[in-house]
Structure formats: C-alpha cells, structure tokens
Amino acid sequence: MNNPIGIIATGSYLPATVAHNEEVAAAAGVTAEWIERKTGIRRRHRAAPHEATSDLAAHAARRALAQAGLEPDQISYLVVATSTPDHPQPATAAIVSDLVRARRAAAFDVNSVCSGFMFAMTAAERMLRAEPQAPGQGPYALVIGADVYSRILDPADRRTAILFGDGAGAVVLGPVPAGTGGITTSLTTRGDQHGLISVPAGGSRRPASAATLAEGAHWFTMDGRGVRGFVQENLPGAIHELLAKADVPARAVRHLVPHQANGVMLAEVWPALGLDSARMHLALAHHGNTGAASVPITLDVAHRRGLFTEGDLTVLTAFGGGMSVGSALLRWAPTAHARPARDRLTAAVREPALAGAR
C-alpha cells in the first residue's frame, strides 16, 4: 500500500523592487493610511522589467528543491498555477521546467486565478498517489503558484491597484509517513459568478486590437463588493464541509493558511470559520495579494520560521476568479529542517495586528 502524499519542502521568492503604500496611493487617488486601514497591506513587490512569471516561479522552485535535497531530474510533475502566464502558449510550466532543468517532469499550467495553487496541488497529489512508491525515492511533484499582477493592473483603479503584488511560492510533494500528509481536499467553482473578476480582452472572445487597448479592456477588473460577499457566503461553508468530510472537529485544527486577499476581509470572515483554536497566518502586510502565489508564500514564511510541528492539523484555503474555492486539510509531515532564512522575505515579515489573526 502506498504511503500518503504530503508537503516535504517549501520555497518562495519576492522581487527586489518594493512599492510602498505612498507610491501606490498617489496613482490611485487615495492615501497610504486609507490603504492600510482598508486592507492591512503596507507594501508589495514588483517584478523587474526583465522578470516574467516563469522567472519568479523558477526562483521559488529552486529554493523548495534545495530544502528538499532533491535534484530537478527527480521531479515527475511540475505544475504552475498562474493567471498571468508569460504568454498564451506554451505553458509557463514548460518554461520553468527548462529554467530549473527538470527534464523528466510532465509540466503543465493551472488557471483557477487566486485559487490556482489549491487546484494544482490537488491535481499533483492525486497523480502521485496513483504511482508506485519507494521510500525516499519518490515520486515527487513540484507545485508552484506564481503571478505578476503588476503587468495587468490599472494604477488608477483603487479597487485593484492597492491590493496586488508579484511573487512566487512552491512546495515539493512526495510520500510521507503514515498518519501525516494530505487528508482531504475540497474544490468548487461557481461559474455563474465568473463576472466578478476578469481581464475582459486578450483571449479568443475579444482578441487584442486597437479598440480593446483604447478601452482599457486588458486591465484586471474586480467587483470588490461582490467578491467580499462571495467570500462571506462561501468560505465558511467550504471549511465546514472540508472538516466534516474528514470527520475532524474544528477545535483540532492548529493552523489556517488562507489566500492573502485582504487582511480586513479575512478578519471579518474569521469568526464564521469556527477555527478558534487555530492560528491564522497572515503575511500580506509586506507582500500584498500575490494571486496564486499567496498561499505557498505564506506557507513558506511560516515553515521557515519553525511555526509548524509534525502532526499539526493544517487547513490551506483560497478563493479566486471563476469564482472558485479550493481547500485542503493536511497533517503536517516531517520536512527538511526549517533554517533561519537569509532572504529579505522571511526576515522582514511580521504578521499584522488584525482582529482574528493569532
């Protein structure tokens, strides 16, 4: 009988350029204080002109592989979750596989917008389960969430420009000891709500043209009030259903790693989740909403700070365009020892003092 599949290593990457609230506020017609009060965000990172989504993803992937002590050729599957691919084709994952030299990996993309990492991790975990396993020999999957939202934001749109940053996070999945690893997942898509978040032009329905450019139809758009309502209506039920499916009481959960959409919105929905014994991990004050990267970045921050103990019940959850919700319940597996990070990310991040954040 195969061992369960779990997270055996994490990694993340944030670009060097930082955009503080003062800079973003000026273009959006608001104040820095207003941004922090409405979102809990203080700054976000911006990809350099030469950096694409694949570059950020490759950096995070290398860090996860190094922590796992694996060579790229040991990876069977490489999945990139992104809604800001390098270009329409080929898949960004194919470029990442070349950058990290994962020559044996089947590489493909997943686009469930900000929920993408949860969908990608679930797909990879189920594929690994189906393969023969050998202790210490895999199979292994590299799952990456990466987005460069700065390229599709209208700086004058205060509904979106204040929220998003660029970054990438990664995990290595592989066989873990019995009693740890993934327990269950829950993935749903409310396609009837797909209009809440979109980039209207640039695809087969509205190809790029002078008219779409003049209209600004290539910018990312979001109905903020509608998204908030969707989260309040759907996220608590998704978490309760996940725990019921696994027959796990909410009081047993020790950690919640949510999509870092908006700290104030997360604080508002926190009481309805029923996870009073859990710690909600928030790192968004220093990197904002990084789309599909936000869950794995936050997971890496917490892991490298030594906040997870083997056996801890942990919920990962995200929500995003489509509208989609993805959640996973896992029992934290033995991982490579979390070493004090020398990079800017882990050294700088401190969780914001928002209501509901423990």
Contact 55, 168 (CB under 8 A): no
Q: Which of 205, 202, 232 is nearest to 217 (CA)?
A: 202
Q: Which of 319, 292, 323 is nearest to 191 (CA)?
A: 323
Q: Is the dihedral of CA 264, 163, 42, 276 positive or negative?
A: positive
Q: Is the dihedral of CA 261, 267, 272, 278 positive or negative?
A: positive
Would you say how long the chain is, in residues? 358
**Residue 237 in tokens:** 């039920």
Which one is catalytic: 3, 111, 234, 289? 289
132 burial level (CB within 10 Å; 0-12, 13-18, 19+) = exposed
What are 81's strand-pairing partners?
110, 145
Decide the pairing of beta strands 75-81 and 140-148.
parallel
Contact 313, 24 (CB under 8 A): no
- The DSSP symbol for 160 reads T
Q: What span, in angstroms and rounded, lies between the C-alpha atoms of 258 and 283?
A: 10
114 is catalytic: yes
Q: Which of 178, 149, 156 is nearest to 6 (CA)?
A: 178
**Residue 252 in tokens:** 């047993």
259 is catalytic: yes
Contact 74, 136 (CB under 8 A): no
Question: Alpha carbon of 237 to those of 113, 194, 253, 269: distances in Å?
Answer: 20, 19, 16, 11
Q: How many CA atoms lie within 13 A of 340 on its CB side?
A: 1
Which one is catalytic: 45, 259, 281, 287? 259
20 is catalytic: no
What are 110's strand-pairing partners?
81
The one-letter amino acid code at 308 reads F
Which one is catalytic: 111, 114, 255, 303? 114
3-state helix vs strand vs coil in the chain, percent to 5: 35, 25, 40
The one-letter amino acid code at 286 reads H
* Active site members: 114, 259, 289
